[in-house]
Amino acid sequence: MAPDSMTIRLHLRRLRVLEVLSDAVERLVVAVRDSRRVVRCPHCGFLTAKVHETRRVEVADLPYGGRPTTLVWHRRRFTCANCTERHTESHPEIAGKVTRRLARQVVRDAQVMTIKAISHRYGISWWLAMRTVRDWAELLEAERRRRRCKVLLIDETSLRRGHRYVTVLSNGETGEVLGMVRHRDARALGAFLSAQGRRWCRGVQVAVTDGSLSYRSAIHRHLPGATHVVDRFHAVRWFCAGLIEVRRRLQRLGPKGTNPAFDPQVFRSRYLQLRRLDRLEGEAIERLGAILWRYPELEVAWRMVQHLHGIYLAEDAEGANEALGAFVELWEEERFPEFDQVVSALLNWGEEIFAFHDTDRVTNGHLEGRMNKIGVLKRTAYGFRNVRNLAARTILISPAVA
């Protein structure tokens, strides 16, 4: 035993340092044992101190004096003197191959660091770090999924840009991500809802989706009591698509390759054209007005979109209907083919768009924020291959766990 070994204090409850096995610059290795001599037999309840055998289990701990630290836990197997059954001890500070305090720290770090960086910091393998994060997230997920959810937000994302889609479910009231399932279709959503059980499904009063047809049948089937609402931001994106197409047609000055090919003023104000009038200030209104005055068709398309914004700005369903009516009137006069898609979206999703007014005006706002965070996560990790790894880390950051 090294002469200074007894100066090492791990501050771990009920663990005694037996000896320092290796005190190198790059790593500290300490042998430990449960300080209790006598344990209770789980089979019959009698006390026993008869050790059948002792195994050495490596357990990673928080760094000690800046060095990654490994505990060699002398884990005992007891024989009961009363019933002769054997049992292996467990320890409250140890969870598998890591101490609980290291697990907590790894989980905190996983909200801001890559798994690779974490494994380097604590001298553990990538797999152990990921495993620790996943175990924790699974507990959190189970806890969140048990609780009642009145507003269910349903959205989709991909593991890597553009492929392998997953469905993301969150609680609209708390902002907590409840889970992530492979694919973005009725079957994926149906599987999640079946797993939640009928009682939980009956508690869902509002389901918000992004307006992809694929989820609709699963909502009707599993959530018959819920009002289905199309997320406001997705609906507004549909509305704006018509205006964008009209602008693209009008801004062209000459054939491809000529310079300039587009009217730069129209092109540069493209985001301004999409803004809601009530969000524009003096100078911006003037700039926009000058452009719309030069392009009367653009002006009509712009007014059509403003009426569509009115569906959401209205106080109630009646006001929303008036706004829609004003849009339809303009559309019947002009019949821009660019707005055909907008009209068919309104026909297909009218009920789910107007339901906004019957459901305390819920939107996917929470979820959109979440999606941005997931985006950052994916970029940090250079995309994910494994759905469960992405799900685990998403659950930890939404909302952040302390």
Contacts of 41 (CB under 8 A, 6+ apart): 47, 48, 78, 80, 82, 83, 85, 87
For the chain, the C-alpha Rg in angstroms (whole number) is 30
With respect to Zn ion, which residue has the nearer C-beta, 46 or 293? 46
Q: Are 374 and 383 within 8 A, CB to CB?
A: no
Q: Are 357 and 316 within 8 A, CB to CB?
A: yes
Token duo for residue 305: 């979109």
Classified as helix, coil or strand, 97 is coil
Q: At closest approach, how far in Å is the CB of 14 from Zn ion?
A: 22
Q: At closest approach, how far in Å is the CB of 42 from Zn ion?
A: 8
Q: Are 194 and 200 within 8 A, CB to CB?
A: no
With respect to Zn ion, which residue has the nearer C-beta, 39 or 274? 39
Q: At closest approach, how far in Å is the CB of 38 from Zn ion?
A: 13
Q: At closest approach, how far in Å is the CB of 55 from Zn ion?
A: 20
Q: At closest approach, how far in Å is the CB of 80 from Zn ion?
A: 3
With respect to Zn ion, which residue has the nearer C-beta, 53 or 358? 53
Please give the Cα distance from 390 to 377 (Å, whole number). 8
Token duo for residue 73: 């836990």
Q: What are the residues binding Zn ion (CB under 5 A)?
A: 41, 43-44, 80, 82-83
Classified as helix, coil or strand, 16 is strand
Q: What are phi and psi of 50, to 5 degrees?
A: -90, 105
With respect to Zn ion, which residue has the nearer C-beta, 82 or 125? 82
User: E strands of 272-357, at which residues?
Assistant: none
Q: At closest approach, how far in Å is the CB of 382 from Zn ion?
A: 53
Signed CA dihedral, 293, 296, 297, 302: sign only? positive
Q: At closest approach, how far in Å is the CB of 3 from Zn ion?
A: 42
- Cβ atoms within 10 Å, residue 1: 10
With respect to Zn ion, which residue has the nearer C-beta, 22 or 84? 84
Please give the Cα distance from 273 to 280 (Å, whole number). 10
Classified as helix, coil or strand, 51 is strand
Q: At closest approach, how far in Å is the CB of 36 from Zn ion?
A: 16
Please give the Cα distance from 36 to 342 (Å, whole number). 72
Q: At closest approach, how far in Å is the CB of 53 from Zn ion?
A: 17
Q: Of 182, 108, 181, 159, which Cα lies nearest the Cα of 382?
A: 159
With respect to Zn ion, which residue has the nearer C-beta, 82 or 258? 82
With respect to Zn ion, which residue has the nearer C-beta, 83 or 253? 83
Q: Are 400 and 174 within 8 A, CB to CB?
A: no
With respect to Zn ion, which residue has the nearer C-beta, 41 or 124? 41
Q: At closest approach, how far in Å is the CB of 75 from Zn ion?
A: 19
Q: Are 362 and 356 within 8 A, CB to CB?
A: yes
DSSP 385: S
Q: Are 60 and 99 within 8 A, CB to CB?
A: yes
With respect to Zn ion, which residue has the nearer C-beta, 43 or 361? 43
227-230 and 206-209 beta bridge pairing: parallel
With respect to Zn ion, which residue has the nearer C-beta, 1 or 44? 44
